[in-house]
Amino acid sequence: MGSRISGLFGRRKEGDECDHFRGLTSDFIDNELDPEERDRLLTHLEWCGLCMAFINTLRATVNMLGSSDAPDTPPALKDDIRARISRDDRS
């Protein structure tokens, strides 16, 4: 599946501005871009459907993961992990 996603959103040419903007998607979603860069990205999204799809997919994924309740870790698994770490520390 990763190769299909890479093929869809992969680089089209060296220096492609899409690569630049895709690198900013997390900051964009978290509203952490400076206003000038945010405006440049929004202008890009007006004509670039692939980048818009990329951002919408990432946003939906982040929202889905943020809204799910993480299951409790079974105590036996926690004990096993602690024991393995302890053994590794002694090696």
pLDDT in tens, 59-85: 999 888 877 777 777 889 888 998 888
Residue-range domain boundaries for the chain: 2-90
Question: Any idea what the Cα angle at residue 90 is, between residues 85 and 91, rounded to 5°?
Answer: 100
What's the pLDDT at 17? 87
- pLDDT band at residue 91 using 50, 70 and 90 as cut-offs: low
pLDDT at 1: 44
For residue 68, CA distances in Å to 58, 65, 88 come to 16, 5, 33
CATH number assigned to the domain with residue range 2-90, chosen from the 4 options 3.30.2420.10, 1.10.260.40, 1.10.10.1320, 3.40.50.11540: 1.10.10.1320
Q: In angstroms, rounded to a whole number, what is the distance separating the alpha carbons of residues 31 and 71?
A: 29
Q: What is the pTM of this model?
A: 0.57
Q: Which CA distances in Å does 2 have to 7, 36, 69?
A: 8, 32, 25
